[in-house]
Amino acid sequence: MEYVVQTENLSKRFGKENAVAGLDMKIRKGEIYGFLGPNGAGKTTTIRMLLGLMKSTSGTIHIFQKDLRKERINILKRVGSLVENPSYYPHLTAYENLEALRKILGVSKTRIHEVLEIVRLSDVANKKVKGFSLGMKQRLGIAASLLNNPELLILDEPTNGLDPSGIIEIRNLIKRLPSETGMTILISSHLLTEIDQMATTVGIVTKGKMIFQDSIEALRMYAQQKVLLKVSDSEQAWCSLLRKGIKADWQDDIILLSEHSNRKVAKAVQTLVQDGFSIYRVEEEKRSLEDIFLQMTMEEKVV
């Protein structure tokens, strides 16, 4: 498996506080990796270490299978990033801002037009940035991060402070990039709904520790709904279902059906009625991904 980013036991301490603790992160080539966690969970500290802006206390970082400590300059030439608020010269146009950066990076002038096209700012290339909306400024920041044609793009909370239309603009742009350019993207957020609509893989971090790392589908499995049955003599009714081979749980006088297709629910109800139990209520309990995220982070706090 080719990992574009791989950290092992990555840790960062500030005095006695562990901002990042033993983080093992694995990001495959061409995926959108959603780095998710509450504010203060250690996401930005991790990103700063990945970009060589901050030294780790311990552990290793490999990007493109190269050790960041040994080959920092070569690695970072292939990485683009947007960390916190991008800085601009407000009195200059979008084109002029990118031209100033292009000279530092030493890429061709044609690249400016290419990145403006990618972020859909070509029509305002000669407009001064001080007149831009927040969403346009954020897109210009992403354009700047794309100038060096990176293979890895790291975006820290790129939709922070944007209105709904700005969020949709950025989301659509991020989703397009891997298929159009083959780029790998790491995007951090504290909003699960945001990551759910973009990411292929999710890493959830809280208090500096990775508590979940898998595909977005695996995370959705946690959010599968259950069917709740409120019945007479619930414990006896539950035993009756188990005897008939129907999978169910029993808690707080409620039967929870694990298999919730219409056919399975109908069979359970029919079985209970035939066995003389009264059915008071049949409900569907849906657990949102947000609920799962909160449960995971709360469980970590309890531990």
Rounded distance between C-alpha atoms, residue 221 and residue 153, angstroms: 28
Domain-by-domain residue ranges, the chain? Answer: 3-78+150-221, 225-286
The proportion of the chain whose per-residue pLDDT surpasses 70, expressed as a percent, equals 96
pTM: 0.79
Q: Are 292 and 219 in contact (CB under 8 A)?
A: yes
pLDDT digits over 2-26, tens only? 899 999 999 999 988 889 999 999 9
3-78+150-221: CATH architecture: 3-Layer(aba) Sandwich (3.40)
What pLDDT shows up at residue 190? 87
CATH class name, domain 225-286 = alpha beta
Tens of each residue's pLDDT in the chain, 303 residues: 789 999 999 999 998 888 999 999 999 999 999 999 888 889 999 999 999 999 999 999 999 999 999 999 999 999 999 887 777 888 999 999 999 989 888 888 999 999 998 888 999 999 999 999 888 888 899 899 999 989 999 999 888 878 888 888 889 889 988 988 889 999 999 888 888 889 999 999 988 999 899 998 888 777 667 788 999 999 898 999 999 888 888 888 998 887 777 888 898 999 999 999 999 999 887 667 777 777 777 766 544
Rounded distance between C-alpha atoms, residue 206 and residue 43, angstroms: 9
Distance between alpha carbon 85 and the CA centroid of its chain, in Å? 19
Q: Are 155 and 138 in contact (CB under 8 A)?
A: no
